[in-house]
Structure 1
Amino acid sequence: MAKKYLFITPLAVYILDEHGEPIAFYKLYRDSMSREEHVRLLYDMEQGRLSEKILEFIASNIKKEDELVVEDNDLGRFISNNLKDARVESATRGDAILKARENLTSIIEKTVGVKPQEYYSLVHELMLQLTRLKVKEVAEKRDLFVAQAINALDDVNKTINLFASRVREWYSLHFPELDELVEEHEDYFKVVSNIGFRSKMTKERLKELGIKDDVAEKIVKAAQSSMGADLTEFDLEAIRLISDTGLRLYSIRRSLEKYIDEAMYEVAPNIRGLVGSLLGARLIALAGGLDKLAKLPASTIQVLGAEKALFRALRYGAKPPKHGVIFQHPLIHRSPKWQRGKIARALAAKLAIAARIDAFSGEYRADELREDLEKRVEEIKTLYAKPPVKPERAVKAKKGGKKFRGEKR
């Protein structure tokens, strides 16, 4: 039995003997091939895939009793799966390959006919194109578009709250009572932008803006007896600039939410079906992409978004967080406190499965996952219907007050 080594370079693929000498070689770049095809070939090899011609070259140069040593584990698995008779061994280090690497430029010159200086310039150009291809592949991933959209939505929400706070404070100089009567920021913007002066407040105009009857009546009464200052048209126009922008931001928010929902249906339908499009997109953004989320264990998914609390617990010995952003899911935040940790664990486990299906399979199984989750939540609510009884020592310690470091009791 003889050992042979697979040695891959940017310009050729070699079969080496045990002394690091090339037995056979396959030239990667040919006259009939474009530079883009050559770069794509290198990219595929980096991802653990070989073309049919390279597989044929390998098969024709190894015998049944030979053992082929491959440095890359992914390539080793690929060759084993596609060449059933080949005996493949994955090894991160081989003396034959090290010797070939030391004499790389001379081997390239003898076999391919490329001089050292020309070889280095070719490799430099190929690596630049390969890097561009990798960047393009990453940028074209739809999950990164979803992550950017959810971050943009968060920015829009922050801006809406900032503008609403400013308009309420500014307009309250004229009509302070409106601040308590209208809770929704969008309704407040509508009143300021479309009516403005409190003297023009009528029930009919308020109802046209979507204000409820009873609230509209209260606003009209409050406007008649308001203790606010008078407002000029010049002042109102300045306030309306901010108010009109707030209304446009609400329109942008709705458009972004629609975009995220449709994109999540394409990118991660199982996550969307399990926790909704917005929460699912936020998890993808926090993980750094769908592939990264799929590789995370359920315990990490459970606390995504609560990193500060987690590190505080590790550093100062505080209680570790039971959940991160998944707290936004109604099954968690509508449940009693003592049940939330267990429900969060169950939800994170299903999310881990959903993320892996979306990333690697594409099969739709959200309904099945959601049904299993609901069953588990019902079990938790039945088994832990009442809060746990605190240990007697903990109760006494709480009554006795805080125990400071260095103090003896």
Structure 2
Amino acid sequence: MDLFLSITPVGICMLDERGELVDFSKFPMDPEGAAKRLHLVKSGEAIEELRDLVSRWIGSIGTLYLESSSLRDLVLREFPGINAKVAPNMDPFVLFRRRKREFMASISGIKEEELQNLLIDISLSLARIQIKEELSRKDLLIMKAVDYLDHLNKSLNILMPAVREWFSIYMPELDSIVEDHELFVRAAMTIAENGGEDDLLRAGLPKEIANRISEAMKKTLGIGVREEIRDVISVLSELFKTREKVEKYIERLMRDVAPNLSDVAGPLLGARLITMAGGLEKLAQLPASTIQILGAHKAIFLHMTKGTKPPKHGILFQAKEVKTAPRKLRGKIARLLATKISIAARIDVYGSDRSVGRKLREEIDERLAKLKGG
């Protein structure tokens, strides 16, 4: 016997050659349960309703016709010996689609006029599931990019002290003039290429530092720059450029995935918070008090085991508002930021307004002005 299998929002239907319903396997009648089953099938995963329905007819099936190749592949994985073909435009499917609402009302056991509301609710639930899945994929991209950025920073922090010491043979004064590692590499590259003050400025060094380097170059006791150190500096310069590219990539992802969190915390800090929480949705589920001390594992451990003071902040110390604040205000500012971050993350996950973050940012700035003004 040739049979035809069709998936509907309320269950799976088995049809005969006339397009008549001969059997069905019903989904749960709550919208979320039905949406989960639809999503699993669309993702190529088997569900009990499908297994049960096909199993009941396995001995009678000559050819089982299906409406999509993905559904055929799913059936063949579960029932390797079955003869399954894709034929969405065969008459039984066409006839079934004309009476689909009638059949769905029969399967679900509700009136046809009430069916519309159920279908809308199932569609909304399915959309939410798909959005969450899309978010989780982008979450993973953010977390992997942050992990790569951290490894890159660790590598640079390990290499730079040795490079500074090595370059001091050629110009010992540079180490004390330029504290920032990236600016040091830019300056060293310019010096290695016999550049002057104008070249240092074009390389992005502040005017005062460029002037001091230029003066030091006239009096330096160092020897001429050799090719070996020039090559090392060139490699480090590329690493810093790579870091900048990764940071911009993270910023683009964050503006897409978590625009409100980006406005409140900044894209890079927001990405680190997502990484520490294990995902945007997990961050949105955390209370503000936990977000405030996220990343302060060592301080929390010491507080729990040795009775030291509890931490006032964790990774939020990286926020310029906290880092540059007087010590006595840091706890209050971290708490303020954590509260707004919690709201922003929840809206990014569960809401649709991409502009709330700007309003939250304004509220933060107003509150900061009051705190600093006493």
Range of TM-score over shorter length: 0.5 to 0.7
Question: Alpha-carbon deviation of 1:237?
Answer: 2.1
Matches of 1:374 and 1:221 in 2, distance apart?
Answer: 42
Mark the CA change 1:32 to 1:53 in structure 2 (over 3 Å): closer, same or farther: farther
2:148 corresponds to which of 152, 158, 178: 152
Instruction: Tell me the alpha carbon deviations over residues 53-83 of structure 1, each in whole angstroms, 9 at most, x when there is no partner.
Output: 9974563299xxxxxxxxxxxxxxxx9x839
Contact 1:201/1:219, CA 8 A, preserved across alignment: no
Q: Does 1:254 align with 2:249?
A: no
* One-letter code aligned to 2:108: A
Matches of 1:290 and 1:155 in 2, distance apart?
Answer: 22
1:190 corresponds to which of 186, 189, 192: 186
Partner of residue 290, structure 1: 280
Mark the CA change 1:314 to 1:82 in structure 2 (over 3 Å): closer, same or farther: farther
Partner of residue 82, structure 1: 118
Matches of 1:212 and 1:379 in 2, distance apart?
Answer: 33
Question: Alpha-carbon deviation of 1:138?
Answer: 7.6
Partner of residue 299, structure 2: 309
Contact 2:171/2:221, CA 8 A, preserved across alignment: yes
Partner of residue 213, structure 2: 219
Matches of 2:215 and 2:241 in 1, distance apart?
Answer: 31
State the structure with more CA Rg.
1
Matches of 1:38 and 1:310 in 2, distance apart?
Answer: 54
Question: Alpha-carbon deviation of 1:293?
Answer: 0.7
* One-letter code aligned to 1:222: A
Matches of 1:54 and 1:291 in 2, distance apart?
Answer: 38
Mark the CA change 1:37 to 1:295 in structure 2 (over 3 Å): closer, same or farther: farther
Q: Please, which moves more after superposition, 156-165 or 315-324? A: 156-165
2:357 corresponds to which of 339, 346, 366: 366
Instruction: Tell me the alpha carbon deviations over residues 337-379 of structure 1, each in whole angstroms, 9 at most, x when there is no partner.
Output: 2222122222111111111110111212112222333344445
Q: Does 1:271 align with 2:261?
A: yes
- Structure 1 residues without counterparts, runs of 5 or longer: 1-7, 16-24, 42-50, 63-78, 84-133, 386-409
Please give the secondary structure, in 1, of the residue aligned with 2:66: coil
Please give the secondary structure, in 2, of the residue aligned with 1:195: helix
* One-letter code aligned to 1:186: E
Matches of 2:137 and 2:195 in 1, distance apart?
Answer: 51
Query: What is the correspondence of 1:3-42 to structure 2 with a 5 Å cutoff?
Result: 13=25, 28-29=53-54, 31-32=65-66, 36-37=70-71
Mark the CA change 1:343 to 1:187 in structure 2 (over 3 Å): closer, same or farther: closer
Matches of 2:367 and 2:205 in 1, distance apart?
Answer: 42
Matches of 1:328 and 1:196 in 2, distance apart?
Answer: 34
**TM-score where L is the length of structure 2:** 0.64
Please give the secondary structure, in 2, of the residue aligned with 1:175: coil
Partner of residue 59, structure 1: 108
Question: Alpha-carbon deviation of 1:255?
Answer: 1.1
Question: Alpha-carbon deviation of 1:176?
Answer: 1.2
Matches of 1:310 and 1:54 in 2, distance apart?
Answer: 59
Contact 1:203/1:216, CA 8 A, preserved across alignment: yes
Query: What is the correspondence of 1:223-238 to structure 2 with a 5 Å cutoff?
Result: 223-228=217-222, 230=223, 236-238=226-228
Question: Alpha-carbon deviation of 1:204?
Answer: 5.3
- Structure 2 residues without counterparts, runs of 5 or longer: 1-10, 15-23, 28-48, 55-63, 76-99, 120-129
Please give the secondary structure, in 1, of the residue aligned with 2:169: coil
Matches of 1:347 and 1:52 in 2, distance apart?
Answer: 51
Q: Does 1:318 align with 2:308?
A: yes
Contact 1:301/1:352, CA 8 A, preserved across alignment: yes
**TM-score where L is the length of structure 1:** 0.59
Question: Alpha-carbon deviation of 1:165?
Answer: 1.6
Q: Does 1:163 align with 2:197?
A: no
